[in-house]
Amino acid sequence: MSTSLPPKVAVLGAGSWGTAFAKVVADAATAAESNRRVVLWGRKPDAMAQMASTRINEPYFPRVKLPDNLEFTSDVEQALHGAHIVVLAIPAQALRAQLEVFAPLLEPDAVLVSLAKGLEMGSGLRMSEVIIEVLQGNLVAIDAPLETISGVTDRVTVLSGPNLAKEIIVEQPTTSVVAATTLETAQKVASICAANYFRPYTNTDIIGVEIGGLVKNVIALCVGMCEGKQYGDNSKASVMTRGLAETTRLALALGGKLETMSGLAGMGDLIATCSSPLSRNHTAGRLLAEGIEPDQLHTVMSQTAESIKSAPVVAELARKVGVAMPITEAVVEVLNRTISVEQLAPALLGRALKSESDHIS
């Protein structure tokens, strides 16, 4: 990448979260009086042309004017050319296929930021693992040096936390966490998204941050079911608390850190996603309780609830590493129609009694 060009950030994915995060990065550049370029890529030429003309993402945020320093394109090669940081705002189950197309176009030193929260169906890999596998595979195919291939791990980061896009797009204050293998890389990403209303923290626990971000979607689905059945706050608080316990068990079993689970990517994200009607997973759970079949959710929701596909993968991973996740297992049974939403509470409450302190064992 030529040093004569201004630094550039490419955000791939013009859905709600991609658009909101691109605005954050553009606003952060303005606040820092930086000449950093920020480009938002979407796959539909007509939609991106309209956004470039109106500076509004009509399907997601029809009343929000996007910053003047935010560029729009449907040409991925144009978006990636010269980009030193590439943000992947792509649904979990589409990430691998999209990244296989993008990988040859990336700058050799580009840092990648994953915004997706989920496990890949089939492989059970976290999003950072999918990114590393695809990028290393691309480098192997072109006979890149071994140190370049192994160095991919240090260029992959994840961002998570209480990230409800509809609140962030209107600049309601929030915090998030950026995780990378080194604090230097995490700080590099944090520096480009530190806006007046968006404060990023950093850590090096990629596993914990990703597990917290993806399992909370499953727990939010269960809380949404409680909402749909008009259960009270006691019920919802119980699911959230025990949900955090099983999220923690899985994170620790995979090598995550306990303190991450009490932070923004653990408790923080869980509270926001389980409590807010803006959460797509919370909404999906409520709709299931109201009688919508799992395979029909797409007909009444404009956005994807990642937990519908990731819940069975989370349960499978938990069984593989010997971790008990009763809420996740019960959610999967509802999705598989093994039990009804009405049977969910009895299934969970009828389990053998145990000590609460077992939550981290």
Structure tokens at 349: 């409450």
Q: Are 276 and 282 in contact (CB under 8 A)?
A: yes
Please give the distance of CA 41 from its chain centroid, rounded to a whole number. Answer: 18
Q: Are 112 and 159 in contact (CB under 8 A)?
A: no
Residue 281 annotated as binding site? yes
Give DSSP secondary structure letters for 11-24. EE--SHHHHHHHHH
**Tokens 């590393």 label which residue?**
132
Residue 44 annotated as binding site? yes
Residue 269 annotated as binding site? yes
Non-local (6+) Cβ contacts of 24 within 8 A are: 168, 193, 195, 198
Q: Are 201 and 190 in contact (CB under 8 A)?
A: yes
How many whole angstroms separate alpha carbon 284 and alpha carbon 282?
A: 5
Residue 15 annotated as binding site? no
Residue 161 annotated as binding site? yes
Residue 69 annotated as binding site? no
Annotation says 257 is catalytic: no
Residue 65 annotated as binding site? no
How many whole angstroms separate alpha carbon 204 and alpha carbon 78?
A: 31
Residue 43 annotated as binding site? yes
Residue 60 annotated as binding site? yes
Residue tagged active-site, from 188, 216, 236, 309 = 216
As annotated, the binding site for NADPH includes 16-17, 43-44, 60, 117, 165, 280, 306
Active site residues: 216
Q: Which residues are documented as binding site? A: 16-17, 43-44, 60, 117, 161, 165, 216, 269, 279-281, 306
